Amino acid sequence: MTDASDRRRIIGGSFGNFVELYDFFVYGFSVPILASHFFPAGDSTAGLLSTFAVYAAAFLMRPVGGILFGRLGDRLGRVRMMVVTVVTMGACTMVIGLVPTYEHIGIAATVLLVAARLGQGLSMGGETSGAYSFLLESAPEGRRARWLGYGAAMAFAPAAIVGLFIVGLRSAMGDDVFQDWGWRIPFILGGLLGLIGVLLRARLSDPEEFVEARKTEHVKDPLRAVFRTQRRTMLNAGLLSSANGLVTYALNGYLYTYLLTVVGLDEIPALLVTSAGIAGGAILYPVTGAMADRYGRKPLLIAGTLWTVAGIYPAFALASSGSVAAACGAAAILMIGTALTTTPQFAVQTELFPTSMRYSGHAIATNVGNALFGGTVALISGVLVSATGSSVAPAFYIMGVSVFAFVVVLFTPETKDFDLRHSRVRAPGVCHEDSSVKEPTQAS
CATH code assigned at 357: 1.20.1250.20
- The pLDDT score that the predictor gives to residue 162 is 80
Query: Can you spell out the DSSP letters for 377-402?
Result: HHHHHHHHHHHH--TTHHHHHHHHHH
| 3-class secondary structure, 328 | helix
pTM to 2 decimals? Answer: 0.84
pLDDT of residue 365: 92
191-218 tens-digit pLDDT: 888 888 888 898 899 999 999 988 887 7
The answer to whether residue 410 is domain-embedded is: yes
The answer to whether 197 and 16 are in contact (CB under 8 A) is: yes
Q: Identify the pLDDT of residue 43.
A: 59
What integer pLDDT is reported at residue 38 of this predicted model? 81
Q: Are 289 and 146 in contact (CB under 8 A)?
A: yes
Rounded to an integer, what distance in angstroms lies between the CA atom of residue 8 and that of residue 313? Answer: 42
Statement: residue 427 has pLDDT above 80 = no
First and final C-alpha spacing in the chain: 29
Residues 22 and 31: their CA atoms lie apart, in Å, by 14
Whether the CB-CB separation of 232 and 395 falls below 8 Å is answered with: no
In a domain, residue 335? The reply is: yes
| 320: Cα within 13 Å, side-chain hemisphere | 15
For 38-80, how does the pLDDT look when each residue is reduced to its tens digit (9 = 90+)? Answer: 877 765 666 666 766 776 677 778 888 889 999 999 999 999 9
CA distances from 253 to 237, 366, 374, 423 (A): 22, 18, 9, 33
Mean pLDDT across 399-421:
94
Question: Is 208 inside a domain boundary?
Answer: no
pLDDT band at 311 (very low <50, low <70, confident <90, very high): very high
pLDDT confidence tier of residue 439, bands split at 50, 70 and 90: very low
* Helix, strand and coil in the chain, % to nearest 5: 80, 0, 20
Phi, psi of 159 (to 5 degrees): -60, -45
Is position 436 within any domain?
no
Q: What is the pLDDT of residue 130?
A: 92
Cα–Cα distance list, 321 to 176, 263, 314, 318, 358 (Å)? 28, 7, 11, 5, 45
Alpha-carbon gap, residue 78 to 72, rounded angstroms: 8
How far CA 26 is from CA of 83, 171, 186, in Å, comes to 21, 17, 7
pLDDT surpasses 90 at 244: no
Distance CA 315, CA 331 (A): 7
**Model pLDDT, residue 351:** 96
Would the pLDDT of 306 be above 60? yes
In a domain, 441, yes or no: no
Average of per-residue pLDDT values in the chain? 86
Residue 2 lies in a domain: no
pLDDT (tens digit, 9 = 90+) per residue, 146-191? 999 999 998 888 877 887 888 888 889 988 898 889 989 989 998 8
DSSP secondary structure string for all residues of 401-441: HHHHHHHHHHTSPP-TTEETTTTEE--TT--TTS---SPPP
User: In percent, how much of the chain has pLDDT > 70?
Assistant: 92
Question: Where on the phi/psi map is residue 265: left (φ > 0), alpha (ψ -120 to 50), or beta?
Answer: beta
Q: What is the per-residue pLDDT for 434?
A: 36
Residue 209 lies in a domain: no
Q: Which amino acid is at 206?
A: D
In the chain, the number of structural domains is: 1
Looking at the domain assignment, is residue 207 inside a domain?
A: no
245 vs 74: which has the higher pLDDT? 74
pLDDT at 370: 81
Domain around 22? 7-202+219-425
Q: Torsion angle, CA of 112/117/119/125, rounded to 10 degrees? A: -170
350-399 per-position pLDDT tens digit: 999 999 999 999 999 988 888 788 767 877 888 898 889 898 999 999 99
